[in-house]
Structure 1
Amino acid sequence: MGGMTDQVLWYTTRAAGAVSLLLLSGVVVLGLLARLRVEGRGWPRFLSAALHRDLALIALVFLTLHVVTAVVDPFTHLGVVSATVPFGSYYRTFWLGLGTISLELMIAVAVTSLLRHRIGPRVWRAVHWLAYGAWPMAVVHSIGTGSDAMSVWMLAIDVVCIITVGAATVWRVFAAPRDPLAAERRIAAMRAGAGVAR
């Protein structure tokens, strides 16, 4: 490939990675806040759920673009195996390995979300918790990979994502309902919805 094409691939890879990180951060924030019922009269819960789902799908599109352009970029020499087998690349092995694991966890979350009505809420929720592991790995992958990872603009994106998700996490932890029976009612509702007997 020519130099111009290589540059386009490099910029596309970085831009798609940055956009997917921003979108995934938004998805995590919406997921964290969804349990708090922060919706008001003008913002119903189904709208938050739809936004969460749609942002996740758009993030996966950008993530796919990020991976595909990284694989075909001749600079990295990744190949499909290196992009799909964690720590299988000679190029920035650790950092790419984290990105690969994060990608695979996000794929698992997406697939189980599509199959949610077939696999049941308990399995879906268990797999969905993987997003909380995938997101920090994606952030660390972002910080450790790429020749511009320490540039001001990329660090700013990383910091914004970390602060936003961190703030949502703190809010989720400290703004959780103080009703001691709320958890028991949720479990009972889940059991009733899944047809599970006590």
Structure 2
Amino acid sequence: MENQSTRQPGLSALFGSFAKIGLAAFGGGLAAWTRQEIVQKRRWMDDKQFLSGYALSQLIPGATNVNLAVFIGTQMRGVGGALACFLGLTMPPVLIVLVTGYLYLHSQGQPSGVWVGAALEGMGAVAIGLSLGTGVRLGRHNIRGVVPIGVMTVITVLIGLLGYSLVHVLMVMMPISLLLTWIVRAR
């Protein structure tokens, strides 16, 4: 297998890949599409690198998937790569959202408004399914041991079931997770 550090995609390849991701993931599931394109298809990163970038992208302010695109672009080609990935990811979907918003706004009260609303609801269900599937797949291969499983379970319950704020849960659970991991590894 070719050493991944020697695979330096061009700026146009980065832009094209992220434009494809942005278009394919309309309605959600960007992390799933990004992993499929960057890790599985292109082999520009492995799962560990991707998961590290994804975790970092969730912890810093901003849209997680845009942060991830910028992270990947920076890793591949520096500032130019970050810009290529950002523009590739955001430009095509922005155009689609503008057109969809126009159609939705102008279809209210019209017979076509029913199918526009139904299409948007269907895309939401697909996005949730893709996110869950990606989480399960990444978790199965990368979350091992009592501490990571316990932290993941607590965070899932606090945010998903009890409705606590993501920011508050992360502010509490991040230092706890780091401390527990440090203690386990120090043994």
What is the TM-score normalised by the length of structure 1? 0.34
**Richer in helix (by share):** 2
What is the TM-score normalised by the length of structure 2? 0.35
